[in-house]
Each structure stands twice: as C-alpha cells, then as structure tokens.
Structure 1
Amino acid sequence: MLHDVAAAEGWEHFRHGADIGIRGIGKTRLQAFEQAGLALTSVVTEPESVRALHAVDIRCSSPDDDFLFLDWINALIYEMATRGMLFRRFVLSQDGATLYGTAWGEPVDVERHCPAVEPKGATLTELKVQQSEDGRWIAQCVVDV
C-alpha cells in the first residue's frame, strides 16, 4: 500500500519473514530517504498521530548511496531509542558524501501512539537505492523489529 504525499512521493512496507521492509519513494533521492523515515515511523505507530514539536539534527556520511541510506535509517532508529521519540517530518540536504538531516517529532506517548514494535536496526537485506524507469527514486531496506 503506497501512502502518497504527492504524485511521485510516498512510502510503503513490504514483508520479509519476521521483520518488515520499509520503502521510500520520491522525485529525488533525498525525498525517497525522507519518505522512508515516515515508513520507519509507521512501523511503530500511525505517523499522523505524531506531532512535529522538537527538532533533532542528524548527520551521517558515506560515499555509497546504499550505505548512506542504511546509515540514515540506523541514525533515526538510534535517535528514536535514545531520546524515546517518534518522528513525523524530515528535511534532508547533502554536501558530497555527507547527509544533513533534521527530524521533527515528539516523545512517545504510550496511550496516544500505542507503539506496536521497537525497530532494532536497518539491515543489508533488500537494501537498494535506485532511480526507477519512470524517474522516481526508491530507497528501501529490511528493518529488524
């Protein structure tokens, strides 16, 4: 199920054994990364239930698109775990091999968010960042839950 944000953007999940795949789709590679952030949040709760109250800056670096995406998702999982937060909005920029991101969210409210699972880490399984034939970018991997 693709959750559209605009005509060429959105996110979805795909099944993989006991874990879950996340996929971001965007007009640009960075938009696909941002959409994958929403897919990650939706593993835990409905993204619409998360308020974008607090900004968290995230930086990661890799010369390889696949590993940069993996680092981005793992950085989000780390921030979620250490800060006890969920994120709703993401803005990314890139300078060379370094990704600069800001994630907006709020602390987990168990009653309102009803967290389903806790993501443990992004894996190399199904890891792919590529531009499709229609020009959209896809960024995906399986997340250990």
Structure 2
Amino acid sequence: MDECVWSKNIKMISHYFEHDADVGIIGRGSTIEQAFESAAEAVFAIVTNLEAVQPDISVAFEFEEEDLEFALVTWLNLLLGKARELGMVFCRFRIHRQGNLWQAEALGGKWHADLEHGVEVKGATLTMLSVKQIGTIWEARCVVDV
C-alpha cells in the first residue's frame, strides 16, 4: 500500500503510470498554410473517415497569433472547439495568414454515429510542438490528447 504521512516530516510518494492517450500528428505542405491545413486533416482523420463527411456547412473564424507554433495549437484547438460547439465534424480546411492575423474556414457536416471511429480528440498540446521549414517543405507537428 502506498504511504502518505502528514506530520512535521512530510513524506510523500509519487508514482507514474503509462498512458496511451496521445497521438502525434504531422502536417506538411509547400506553405505554412498548407502544413496547417494538412495538420487539421490529420487531427480530424483520427475521429472519422474524412471521405464519409459531406462538406455542406462552412464555418469561418479568425485569430491573432505571432508565434507560428502557438498559432498551430490555437488553430487546431479552435477547430476542435467549433466542431464540438456546433455538433459537427470537419473534413476540409483553409487558412490564410496576413502578419499576425489568421483567417480560417472549415467545411464539414453534422456529426452522427455512423461517422465515429471511437476516438475523440480532446485538444492539441504543446508536446513536441514544432513548425519549421525543411528544404522547400513546411512541417507542422504536435501531440493531440485523445
């Protein structure tokens, strides 16, 4: 049995356990925007088969972020939040950057049980967060909590 005694001499024992609730995603493209769009596809492909989604509803939003890495996490988390809020799943993505302003559009359809893969993505994290150019290709990566 674990011991945790509170007294003048505080003794505490910490433990760790393995947890497989994370998935690393990578988006690549010839521009930062294409890499972000590809990363969004990777996130929503965890949830459903994107080809099964009817892209008949468009959702537009914008945000400001100077840092490219934080912009990636913000982009993905805003998409996940909008999908939850509207009861949707997205399958197509567009994003455009002008300085610190990011303008985005996601297309998708209403969520229904037939689309489910049995995995819910809770959010994008800062773990292994990276946005960089490798030669002529931009790569956007992070870990998402599932």
Same fold (TM over 0.5): yes
Structure 2 counterparts to residues 82-121 of structure 1, below 5 A: 82-111=85-114, 113-121=115-123
Q: SS of the residue aligned with 2:55?
A: coil
Query: Greater CA radius of gyration, 1 or 2?
Result: 2
Gaps of 5+ in 1: 1-15
Gaps of 5+ in 2: 1-18
Q: Who is 1:9 aligned against?
A: none
Distance 2:38 2:87 in 1: 21
Q: Who is 1:8 aligned against?
A: none
Q: SS of the residue aligned with 1:20?
A: strand
Q: Who is 1:23 aligned against?
A: 26
Kindly state the Cα deviation for residue 17 of structure 1 after the two structures are TM-superposed.
3.7
1:48 is matched by which residue type in structure 2? E
Distance 1:64 1:19 in 2: 23
Structure 2 counterparts to residues 37-76 of structure 1, below 5 A: 37-76=40-79
TM-score, with normalisation over the residues of structure 1? Answer: 0.84
2:138 is matched by which residue type in structure 1? W
1:24 is matched by which residue type in structure 2? G
Kindly state the Cα deviation for residue 96 of structure 1 after the two structures are TM-superposed.
1.1
Count of matched residue positions in the alignment of Structure 1 and Structure 2: 128
Q: Who is 1:126 aligned against?
A: 128
TM-score, with normalisation over the residues of structure 2? Answer: 0.83
Runs of 4+ aligned structure 1 residues displaced above 3 Å come to: none
Identify, as 1 or 2, the structure richer in strand.
1
Q: Who is 1:141 aligned against?
A: 142
Q: SS of the residue aligned with 1:60?
A: strand
